[in-house]
Amino acid sequence: MNNKKIGDHYENIARQFLIKQGLILLSHNSHYRIGEIDLIMRDEECIVFIEVRYRKNANFGPAEITVTPNKQSKIKQAAQFWMLSQNLNIEETEFRFDVFAITGKKQQWIINAF
């Protein structure tokens, strides 16, 4: 499998898990000049921007540590673009940033990761 197919596979695992937790899918793979948002979901009244990360094993650390401050900044900027495209007022909309990390066979949903 190439990297895109691998990414799509693990994003689908994350999406299905989160839907079972009661979240509603709004968008996936939203691309902007500054970056991409893997999943955008709604958790009750909260918009959730989710970064999905995968590592085959923890030899170099767990998947979640790959969401660097630089990556977080790009996700936040892309989230602003998405909210503006949806005519959502950033000041009045509840939102958060989660990470869904898969390291080997271990899955971890980190709510309010950054």
46-55 and 106-110 beta bridge pairing: unpaired
Report the percentage of the chain scoring pLDDT > 70.
100
Phi, psi of 111 (to 5 degrees): -80, 135
For the entire predicted model, the pTM comes to: 0.94
pLDDT of res. 4: 82
What are the pLDDT digits (tens) for 9-23?
999 999 999 999 999
Exposed, middle or buried by CB within 10 Å (0-12, 13-18, 19+), for 63? Answer: buried
What are the pLDDT digits (tens) for 35-70?
999 999 999 999 999 999 999 999 999 999 999 999
**All domains of the chain in start order, with CATH:** 3-110 (3.40.1350.10)
- CB contact set of 11 (below 8 Å; sequence gap of 6+): 28, 29, 38, 39, 52
